[in-house]
Amino acid sequence: MLRNVFKIKAFRPPQAEIINATLAGRDVFVVMPTGGGKSLCYQLPALISPGLTLVISPLVALMDDQLAELARLRIAAARLTSETGREEAKAVREQLMDPTIKHMLLFITPEKLAKNVSVLVQLEKLYTAGRLARLVVDEAHCCSEWGHDFRTDYKSLGAVRAEFPKTPLLALTATASPKVQADVEAILRIEGCEVFRTSFDRPNLDLQVVPKPAEAADALAALVAWIRREHPADTGLVYCFSRKDAEQVAAGLADTGIAALCYHASLPPEERRYAYEAWSAGTIKVVVATIAFGLGINKANVRYVLHHSLSKSLENYYQEAGRAGRDGQLATCVLFYRPADVFRVSTLVFSNRTGLASLYEMVRYCHDRRTCRRLQLARHFQDPAVQAPCGDRCDTCRGSAAAGGAVADVDITGPVIVLLAALHQAECVWAAFM
C-alpha cells in the first residue's frame, strides 16, 4: 500500500509501529514534529480498515491541502466545515451511507462535529453497522487548556468518543509536554493508550532571531532585503501577528516585485484557496499569513519561514517554523523581534490559563544570545535526544564562535533606577487619590 498508492519507498521511524498499533485496534497517542509524517499514520490505515476514518482537524487550510493530495492519489475523501454548502453537505452524507464505498476519509472541524446533530446521527448508524473504522484527532494538543492552542470544542471530543467506545482513536500532535499529554488522554478517554514520541529536532533548520526595526516601513524593508539577499527565487512563508499586518506586508512585498499573496481566516474561501493553490504550484513564491495557514501544510520545498513578529508560544513558533525544509534540505527560519511586539501579543493571550507564561518563554528565547537555539528548544520540549550545541545551525552558536564565545554585557542600572523612581512616584500619586 505504501509503495503502490502513496509512492513512498519506506516508512520513517516509527510510522510502521504506529500504523500497526492502530490497525490492531489500540488507542494511540503520537507526538511527532512537523514534517515527521503524521498524516500517513491515518491515511494508510484508512485504505486498509473498511469503513469511515473520521479526522477531526482544526484548520480548513490543512483540510484543503490533504484533500488535494488525496485526490491526486485517487483516495476517496471529503470534508464538512462551516464553509461546506448545502448541496455539498448532502452529497457527503450520501457518500457516508453508500455501502459500495469501502474506504473513506472524512475531515471535519471540531465545531461542526459538536454542533451538527445530523452528523452524529449518521456516525451512530455507521458505528452500529460496524463501518466506523477509526477516530483521528489531529492537533490533539488543542484539547488541553494547558496546551498552546486550546479550542473549546475540542473538549467535547471526549463525549464523542464515549458514544463509540469500540472504535480505536488515534491522537496526533507535533508538540505536547507530559502534562498536556496526560490532560489530552483524560479528555479523550484513552488513558493507557500506546504512546509514540519522537525527537522534535529538525537538524536541517537554521534558526535565527534578528532585530526588527521599530517603524513598519523599515520592518517591511528589512523583510524585502532579506528575501532578495538570501532566497530571491525560492518558496517561502511569512507569518504575521494580525490580519491587517498580513495584508499590508503582502501588498508591500508585491509592490517591490516579490510574488506574494495574503492568507487569513477572514478572506473569502475562494481567495484563500487561490492563494494556497498558487503557492503550491509555484505561481507565487510567498504566502503572507496568520496562524490560520499552515498546520500540516505539505509543501516540501519551502526554503524559508520568516516571522514578522514573535509567536505567542514556543510551541506555535516551532510548528510554524517547521513548515520549512520538509524535503530534508537546508532551510532558514528567521524571527524578526522587537520588544514592542510583546505588548501586542500579550493582549491576545493574557486571558488564557498559560498564555502569558508561554509568551514570556518565547521572549526569553528571543533574548538569550548565549545558548544554542536547539538546546533552548530541547529543554522546553523536554527532549533528551539533543544534548550538545548545534555548532553552526543557529545564530547564537555562529555568533559565539565568531566572537570567541563573548557576548556583550550592558549595564542598565541607570535606566532601572529611573524606572523604579517613576513607578514609586506613580504609586504615591495613586495612594493620594485613594
Residues identified as active-site: 38
| 237 contact partners, CB below 8 Å, separation of at least 6 | 286, 287, 289, 293, 294, 302, 304, 305, 306, 320, 323, 324
Q: Are 161 and 169 in contact, with CB atoms under 8 Å apart?
A: yes
Cα 255 to Cα 258: distance, rounded to the nearest angstrom: 7
Rounded to whole angstroms, what are the CA distances from 11 to 70, 194, 386? 18, 19, 23
Cα 370 to Cα 378: distance, rounded to the nearest angstrom: 15
User: Cα torsion for 224, 264, 73, 132, to the nearest 10°?
Assistant: 150
Cα 159 to Cα 265: distance, rounded to the nearest angstrom: 28
Nearest to 207 by CA among 415, 398, 430, 411: 398
Cα 160 to Cα 184: distance, rounded to the nearest angstrom: 14
C-alpha cell at 4: 503502490
Helix or strand (DSSP H, E) at 366? helix 355-367
How wide is the angle at C-alpha 6 spanned by C-alphas 5 and 12, nearest 5°?
135
Residue type, 146: W
Residue type, 244: K
| 389 contact partners, CB below 8 Å, separation of at least 6 | 372, 374, 375, 397
Cα 335 to Cα 330: distance, rounded to the nearest angstrom: 17
